[in-house]
Every structure is written in C-alpha cells, then in structure tokens.
C-alpha cells in the first residue's frame, strides 16, 4: 500500500553533521520499468545462509553440540520436532549449490562459521577438520567467481560454553569469542574481505534470553532477576564484537568488518508528538541499542533512562566500541506502526493496522508484512544518523503464504516473493540514486529453503526450493530467475 505522508523521525546527528531536508520529509518512490534495474556500479547480487540452518552433519568431523542442537532435540521446542541434524545437507552438497549460484549469476555468498566445528568445546584445541571444511568452501566459491562473505556467529553457541558459565550471560565469553574469531581470521583472512561478527544480536538475545522461543530458551520464568538477562547479554555481545574487531584490524588489515543489525522501521501511528517520540524510542530499543555503541560508543539515552540495570562501558570498552564497523550491515524484513503507551520498557505499542488498513501484505510468517516504503525511510534514517556509512543489505526476503502446502509446480511460481523483491529493490534504487545512500549490495534471504529455527522446515524463505521428501533436491524458483535477470540488467546499466 502507498505510504501515508508523515515526517521521518528526527535522527541523532553525527557530531558536526547538519541534518538535510531529506531527513525531515519523505521522498517519493522511484519507479522503474518492470525488471529494469537502475542500481549503479558496485551494487552486487548476493544470497545468504547460516551454518546451523543449512549444513547438517551435526556430529561429523569432530563437531559437538551447539545450544541449537540441544534446543531442537528438546521436545516441543520446534515445529514438528525439526532440527539441523541434516538440515539441507550443505556440508556434503556445497559444490552443487555453488554451481547453481554461478549459473544464476550470484556474485556474493554470505555464510556463517559454526563455532562448535572450530572449537568443539568452545575453547581450547582447534578442530582442524572444521577449519578444513570452510577452507574448501571458500576455495570453491572463489573458483566459481563468487566472493565469500563470512559471519562469525549466527546463533550456534557451543553448548559447552553455555554449560560452563552461561554463555552470553558471562563476560568470560569475550576472550573465548576472540580466540574463535582470531582462529578464523588467521585461517581465512587472506581470502575473505567482508566479515561480520554477529548476526542480529537483537533477535538471538531477546528471543533466547527474554521470550524463550529460541535457544537457549531462557524466559521470564527461568530465574529471579531474569529481566536483566537480555541487557547483560547485550553488553557482553557488544564487548565481544569490539574486542574481535580490534584483532581483525591487526590480522586482516585489508578487510572490512561489521555486525549484522536487524530492525523494523517504526512509523508513528499519528502525527502527535507523543507517537513520534514513541517511534523514536522504538528505534532506539531495537536498532540504537546495538548500533549507537558501535558508532558513538554509548547506548541511546532513552534506553539508559528507562533501563536502570543497563550496564556501563568502561573507558577502554568505549574506546574499542566507537568506530568498530567499517560498513553498515542491515537485515530488513518488515515494519510496524508505533504509538505511545505500553507495558514494555520502552513504553510503546506496535501495530500492524492504521485506520483499518493493514500496513502491508502478510507473508506466511505471522510477524512479516511487506512494507517496502518503510524500508526506504529506514535506509535514509541510518544514513543520516550514522554519518553516511557504506551500506550492505545483508538480508532481505519473505516467506510465501502457505508455500509449504503447495505442490512443487505451484511452489516454484513464487509470485508473492517476486513482488516482494521488486518492491524492495525499487526502494533501494530510490535510496541510492535519489537520497544518496551509499548502498553497495544486496543479499537475498535465503539462498535455499532451510531450517527456519523454531519454525522448523514449515516456513520457506529460499529462492531455491528444497524438496524435503525427495532427497533434498534443489530447484530454482521464479524469484531466483527474476533476481538473476534483474541483476544482469543492473550490470548492463539498464
């Protein structure tokens, strides 16, 4: 649906920077001919994945359990009891998948490294077989002309560290994470330019340590004082990120590193000052809680004011954090209307309707609505708030309504997903060419259908279909073919 005119939230300016008029008023959507990309040079086409969601081989070559192995093997935690034991068997089938990527013209493949493959006990002795697997994967990508982009942590914490000291609940994890990161930097740094430390800290912290719907499944009933756990985890994750980045800049001086931020855009429900302030608080609690320390060295003041138990950074931690991203890595899926008032710590309520109209078309996932106009507002907001960073869209995609229930021919014609990508790429074009946002590339989530965490295999986000009943056979969907043609057009300057 078209965006209703309403001003963007006033972002926190970078020191010495003046806010431009573009920040204070919405811009029109850039319209292009169907299938004609106008993204400029350097706008790459990538896809993304995550180790536990695709690899399988959960007990092969020395790998030991992660918290997600334990969570999935606990009855009632995932849809149908699904797990990543086999997943889509990428561990054994990566060569055929890379060939398919090459045929589609994919330029970048983002994947994560399984910590318990490299350090089965979380720390101590390196597992050479684990390093060898990722070395083979990287070499195969490079041989196919595909650039590897590596995420160090995509949620599969070694179970041994959770058992030993509570994982992210303890600051003991910082040196263990740095040791894991340094092993990867040393082994793969000469061949990999783009890295991220953590994928979506908001998601794995709040879903795992507050809601309890993700591993390790800690929620309000776990222990006295557990409301503090997400804030403790947040602090430890940020300090681990900063320490790892310091090592990266020493070991991989030619590379670039960031952290994958995920966020919604918070559109004020009304033009009232209270709703506008509430929308800004939502942005602070969702994005700013992680991005502000990385760019400014401190948590947003609105979060500090409302969370008495929020830890404080030392001077040295602040020094390491500020400026600890070489580019802005953004995962975007959906957005919400936000109004003032609510029983959460930010004092807001998120809504999917305004004046009886839904914010966008709903995907198969109950939380996901297609809201492309909000995506552009978000990109402009990030650009102005964080000082015009180099920006990479490291995840974007959707689940198609009832796709898992469709016969193969119908599932392959994923027109809902094609439209989602058309609409969101049009907004990237507008943000890049009209608003001056420095967008370098786009990764579709995901490369192939896979284990969607607690949703199991029921939700499908892939541009490649995986037949779970027929030997995990891969078949490109219409969305894969459309994206391939779109980026060929972009490469030709159409």
Q: Is 147 noted as a catalytic residue in this protein?
A: no
Number of residues written out for the chain: 494
Catalytic residue among 38, 147, 200, 229: 200
Return the exposure string of 470-486: e unless at least 16 CB atoms fall within 10 Å of the residue's CB, then b: eebebebbebbebbbeb
CA 268 to chain centre: 24
Plot region of 166 (φ>0 → left; ψ -120 to 50 → alpha; else → beta) = left
What is the side-by-side strand order in the sheet with 266-268? 266-268, 336-340, 348-351
d(CA 117, CA 133): 9
215 Cβ contact partners less than 8 Å away, ≥ 6 residues apart: 66, 67, 68, 70, 71, 72, 155, 157, 208
The phi, psi pair for 66, rounded to 5°, reads -100, 175
- Pairing relation of β-strands 361-362 and 357-358? unpaired
Plot region of 119 (φ>0 → left; ψ -120 to 50 → alpha; else → beta) = beta
Catalytic residue among 38, 395, 403, 452: 395
CB 482 within 8 A of CB 419: no
What Cα–Cα distance (Å) separates residue 436 from each residue in 69, 254, 387, 440?
43, 26, 12, 12
d(CA 164, CA 159): 9
Q: Quick one: which of 53, 46, 138 has its CA closest to 89?
A: 53
d(CA 1, CA 339): 20
Q: Indicate the burial class of 5 (C-beta count within 10 angstroms; 0-12, 13-18, 19 or more).
A: exposed
Q: Quick one: which of 67, 184, 66, 198 has its CA closest to 134?
A: 184
Q: Is 452 noted as a catalytic residue in this protein?
A: no
Q: Which residues are tagged catalytic? A: 200, 395
């Amino acid at each position: 649906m078209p965006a209703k005119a309403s001003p963007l939230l006033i972002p926190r300016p970078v020191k010495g920077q003046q806010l431009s008029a573009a920040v204070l008023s919405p811009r029109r959507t850039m319209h292009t001919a169907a299938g004609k990309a106008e993204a400029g040079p350097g706008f790459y086409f990538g896809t993304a994945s995550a180790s536990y969601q695709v690899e399988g081989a959960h007990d092969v070559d020395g790998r030991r359990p992660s918290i997600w192995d334990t969570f999935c093997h606990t009855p009632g935690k995932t849809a149908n009891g699904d797990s990543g034991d086999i997943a889509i068997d990428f561990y054994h089938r990566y060569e055929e998948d890379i060939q398919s990527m090459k045929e589609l013209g994919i330029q970048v493949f983002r994947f994560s490294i399984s910590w318990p493959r490299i350090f089965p006990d979380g720390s101590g002795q390196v597992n050479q077989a684990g390093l060898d697997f990722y070395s083979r994967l990287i070499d195969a990508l490079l041989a196919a002309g595909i650039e590897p982009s590596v995420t160090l942590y995509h949620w599969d914490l070694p179970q041994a560290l959770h058992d030993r000291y509570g994982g992210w609940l303890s600051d003991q994890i910082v040196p263990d994470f740095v040791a894991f990161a340094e092993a990867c930097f040393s082994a793969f740094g000469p061949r990999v330019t783009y890295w991220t430390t953590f994928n979506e800290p908001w998601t794995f912290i709040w879903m795992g340590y507050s809601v309890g719907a993700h591993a390790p499944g800690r929620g309000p009933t776990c222990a006295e004082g557990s409301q503090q756990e997400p804030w403790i985890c947040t602090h430890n994750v940020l300090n681990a990120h900063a320490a790892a980045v310091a090592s990266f800049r020493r070991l991989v001086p030619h590379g670039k590193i960031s952290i994958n931020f995920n966020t919604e855009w918070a559109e004020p429900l009304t033009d009232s000052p209270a709703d506008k302030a509430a929308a800004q608080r939502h942005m602070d609690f969702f994005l700013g809680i992680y991005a502000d320390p990385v760019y400014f060295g401190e948590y947003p003041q609105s979060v500090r004011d409302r969370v008495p138990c929020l830890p404080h950074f030392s001077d040295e931690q602040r020094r390491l954090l500020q400026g600890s991203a070489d580019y802005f890595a953004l995962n975007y899926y959906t957005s919400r209307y936000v109004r003032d008032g609510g029983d959460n710590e930010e004092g807001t309520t998120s809504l999917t309707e305004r004046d009886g109209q839904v914010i966008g078309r709903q995907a198969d996932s109950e939380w996901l609505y297609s809201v492309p106009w909000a995506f552009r507002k978000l990109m402009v907001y990030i650009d102005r708030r964080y000082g015009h960073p180099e920006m990479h869209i490291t995840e974007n995609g959707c689940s198609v309504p009832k796709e898992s229930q469709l016969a193969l021919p119908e599932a392959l014609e994923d027109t809902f997903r094609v439209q989602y990508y058309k609409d969101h790429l049009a907004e990237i074009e507008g943000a890049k060419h009209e608003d001056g946002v420095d967008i370098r590339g786009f990764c579709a989530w995901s490369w192939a259908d896979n284990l969607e965490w607690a949703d199991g295999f029921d939700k499908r986000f892939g541009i490649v279909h995986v037949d779970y009943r027929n030997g995990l056979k891969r078949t490109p969907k219409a969305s894969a073919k459309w994206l391939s043609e779109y980026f060929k057009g972009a490469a030709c300057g159409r």
